[in-house]
Structure 1
Amino acid sequence: MASQQASQSLELLSQRQIDQFHKNGFLCIPGFFNQEETTTLLNRSRQLLHDFDIRSHPLTKFSTGTRENSKHVGDEYFLNSGDKIRFFLEEDAVDSRGTLILPKEKSVNKIGHALHVLDPAFNAATMQNDRIKSLCKDLKFHHNPSVLQSMVICKQQSIGGEVPEHNDSPEIFQYTDPPSALGFWIPLEECTKENGALSFSPGSHLNRNITKRFVRLPAGGTGFEALTPSEGVSGNAEETIPPYELVPCSPGDLVLIHGSVLHKSGRNTSTRTRFAYTFHMIESPPDAVYDEKNWLQPTAEMPFTKLFE
């Protein structure tokens, strides 16, 4: 109760910022996290990489599907990671024989997906953060938000893979009816064009026609499922995608990402990593229905965590 009362006293977004978010589908808030907070999360990310035991790891790679014959990871290690902290490797970190060719700290693509619940540092930055709660109240994007997944994206130097254009909902990961996904993306290191800063197509959330969804497949694993015209989420009759805008960021900035806006990031061609912490919120039932085909499903041990409880 005290935390909620404290958050009600903060006003973090101006009306101009709120209008900009709804117009463009994204908003960068400089310096949302201070240097100490950002350094804490970066150091914790590095500690997790140092401590994780590669000997018991199935060498599961995270594929963005940009290469021929490349499939998104769909095994049990991935599908059962919603209530755990697990490690997913860069495509170029494992050779054709399944052998790790780089040190483990330089091989991980991302760490996920329940950092916001299971790790004290990330829990404090997410679920116990009064400024996050105040921002959500200012934005009024959700009535009763739940946090459903959290990740550290490592974007390793020289091998950090490209992420092609996508949106987070309804096309890719977090489909609800009605669509309600909202992303929070916090760079823990400087993000530039060379090391894979995000790019957005401003306003694409307003006119994007959705024809497919990323789902759990009946036969196992994951893949894309075509939508019928009645199921699809449509924008304008004649779809036009605005040009992409690169959004360089500094450590501690916060980027809000509308679930339907198109965004992407390039390959990391630099000699520096691009660590970022990201988590996603959705509207809680009964205001939105979380689809049973989504790859990430709540468990009895860890239902989706409501922000205001």
Structure 2
Amino acid sequence: MSDIDLATYERDGFLVLERFVSSQDCDALQARAAELVAAFDPGPARTIFSARDQGHARDRYFQESGEAIRFFFEEEAADRPTGLALNKIGHALHDLDPVFDRVSRQPCLAALAAALGLTQPLLLQSMYLFKQPRIGAEVGWHQDATYLYTRPSTVTGFWMALDDADRNNGCLLALAGAHRGPLRERFHRVGSDLITSRLDATPWPDAEPVALEVPRGSLVVLHGLLPHASAANRSDRPRHAYALHLIDGQAVYDADNWLQRPDHPLRGFN
């Protein structure tokens, strides 16, 4: 991390690091995800993950996925085979699977977290994102701190491109500099329910979104307050990615966060 990199991150709220993830690690994550999918029997019940209506939030299978490896389907999957129907795998791959653990805890990622100012980095959440050809759903504008809330806000996203990502297959979109605005919403627990509460009605900035078109092996760093999104994938190409979210252990992680780990305490890079 050069001084220019840090200045860019502070200015824009995101940072693109090309060729950060080796082709061998990209291959390993994709192969391991394929193995997990092949061994997965969905049975008659399929939990659909929808960023549009949050219907999955009512499903216990999702609510308890913070310390498990769970499989979530696309809304438009219909009768597709499982390997072409999944939206994502989450949310504790980095702790429960040896391949994801190895890639997630590399020294280069630890050094990056330290350079970004995370004093006690803890690996909180991981997701293997499929963005399937033709049916990969749109993800609307959101801030990661909505879902992974600390006081002060410390959540940081490491998004790794396992395929080339461009406008045609649903690359990330970002509102550069908008991380300096307030947190708009919180997705959290109220009793046994997961709800979204409005914190601030400030609209998203009226700015042209930046399309983060990146080659395979790129790592995109996302500030927890940065509004970002991705378009639907209507192309014939997949857009696989691996997303890892970190928080600083010196911050307060509220007990009403949706993601809880009662049986698996959070770990850092060691």
Counterpart Cα distance in 1 of 2:37 and 2:226? 31
The answer to whether the aligner puts 1:289 opposite 2:252 as a matched pair is: yes
The answer to whether the aligner puts 1:61 opposite 2:72 as a matched pair is: no
> Shift in Å at residue 211 of structure 1?
3.8
State the 4+ residue runs in structure 1 displaced beyond 6 angstroms: none
Question: Within 5 A, what are the aligned runs for 1:114-133?
Answer: 114-127=92-105, 129-133=106-110
Q: Which residue of 1 aligns with 2:168?
A: 194
The answer to whether the aligner puts 1:81 opposite 2:65 as a matched pair is: yes
Residue in structure 2 matching 1:258, options 189, 202, 223: 223
Secondary structure (helix, strand or coil) at the match of 2:10 reads helix
The amino acid across from 1:159 in the alignment is I
The answer to whether the aligner puts 1:302 opposite 2:264 as a matched pair is: yes
> Shift in Å at residue 243 of structure 1?
2.0
Q: Which residue of 2 aligns with 1:10?
A: none
The amino acid across from 1:216 in the alignment is R
> Shift in Å at residue 269 of structure 1?
0.4
**1:209·1:239 contact (CA, 8 Å) conserved in 2?**
no
Q: Which residue of 2 aligns with 1:275?
A: 240
Residue in structure 2 matching 1:210, options 151, 168, 183: 183
Counterpart Cα distance in 1 of 2:223 and 2:16? 12
Structure 1 runs not aligned, ≥5 long: 1-12, 95-100
Structure 2 runs not aligned, ≥5 long: none
Larger Cα-atom Rg: 1
The amino acid across from 1:48 in the alignment is L
Q: Which residue of 2 aligns with 1:108?
A: 86
**1:181·1:280 contact (CA, 8 Å) conserved in 2?**
yes
**2:175·2:205 contact (CA, 8 Å) conserved in 1?**
no
Moved more, 108-117 or 241-250: 241-250
Secondary structure (helix, strand or coil) at the match of 2:148 reads coil
Counterpart Cα distance in 2 of 1:240 and 1:105? 37
Q: Which residue of 1 aligns with 2:142?
A: 166
> Shift in Å at residue 216 of structure 1?
1.8
Cα pair distance change 1:213/1:238, threshold 3 Å: closer
Q: Which residue of 2 aligns with 1:3?
A: none
Counterpart Cα distance in 1 of 2:239 and 2:183? 30
Normalized against structure 2, the TM-score is what? 0.95
Counterpart Cα distance in 2 of 1:212 and 1:256? 21
Question: Within 5 A, what are the aligned runs for 1:43-62?
Answer: 43-55=31-43, 58-62=45-49
Counterpart Cα distance in 1 of 2:133 and 2:203? 40
Cα pair distance change 1:190/1:216, threshold 3 Å: same
Moved more, 70-79 or 158-167: 70-79
Secondary structure (helix, strand or coil) at the match of 1:150 reads strand
Moved more, 22-31 or 38-47: 38-47
Count of aligned pairs between the two proteins: 270
The amino acid across from 1:80 in the alignment is E
Cα pair distance change 1:48/1:78, threshold 3 Å: same
Counterpart Cα distance in 1 of 2:241 and 2:184? 29
**1:86·1:112 contact (CA, 8 Å) conserved in 2?**
yes
> Shift in Å at residue 239 of structure 1?
7.1
Counterpart Cα distance in 1 of 2:182 and 2:242? 29
> Shift in Å at residue 144 of structure 1?
0.4
Moved more, 73-82 or 249-258: 73-82
The amino acid across from 1:153 in the alignment is L
Counterpart Cα distance in 2 of 1:109 and 1:238? 28
> Shift in Å at residue 80 of structure 1?
0.7
Cα pair distance change 1:78/1:165, threshold 3 Å: same
Counterpart Cα distance in 1 of 2:136 and 2:212? 18
> Shift in Å at residue 241 of structure 1?
4.2
**1:155·1:275 contact (CA, 8 Å) conserved in 2?**
yes
Normalized against structure 1, the TM-score is what? 0.83
Q: Which residue of 2 aligns with 1:138?
A: 115
The amino acid across from 2:81 in the alignment is P
